[in-house]
Amino acid sequence: MGYVDSDYTGYKNTYKSIEESVFIVAGGPVSWECKHQDIVALSTVEAEYMRFSQATTQAIWLAKFFDKIGLPITALIHIYANNMGSITNTVNGKNHRRMKHIDILFHQGAYGVGHSGLQIL
């Protein structure tokens, strides 16, 4: 299970968002991150969507890691978030006209949800 969040323009010196994520397995954190995003997001939805992309990549890596060490994950990996706009863009794969400029790199999140046993909640 994972949790993601982003603080839109949280760092006022550069206007970069602060992004956070944590993945929990068997009741304890196994992966976490808190850092400034590499680019300046133009909206809260965009900042959260970029965080989703990185979190889905991490979730896929964790699933493969656990499989390699003989502990395969058989259930869906749930990723929880609090921004309905980014959840809708990720789950439905529909990009709002204001999201067209987002680099293809960040669309990995939407692809991962549809193809890798991930579920966004």
Query: Quick one: pLDDT at residue 68?
Result: 94
Mean pLDDT, all residues of the chain: 76
CATH of the domain at 38: 3.30.420.10
pLDDT of 26 higher than 90 = no
Contact 75, 44 (CB under 8 A): no
**What is the Cα–Cα distance from 100 to 66, expressed in whole angstroms?**
35
Q: How far is CA 93 from the centre of its chain?
A: 14
Count up the domains in the chain and report the number.
1
Could you tell me which residue, 118 or 58, shows the higher pLDDT?
58
Return the pLDDT at 95. 56
Task: For residues 10 and 51, give the distance between their C-alpha atoms in angstroms, rounded to a whole number.
Answer: 14
Instruction: Please compute the mean of the pLDDT values over residues 13-25 and round it to a whole number.
Output: 86
Q: If pLDDT is split at 50, 70 and 90, which confidence band does 117 have?
A: low
At 59-107, the pLDDT tens digits run 889 989 999 999 988 888 888 888 776 677 666 655 555 555 565 555 4
pTM more than 0.85: no
Range of the domain at 85: 2-120
**Token pair for residue 14?**
């550069």
Please compute the mean of the pLDDT values over residues 18-24 and round it to a whole number: 89
Q: Which residue has the tokens 């980014």?
A: 86
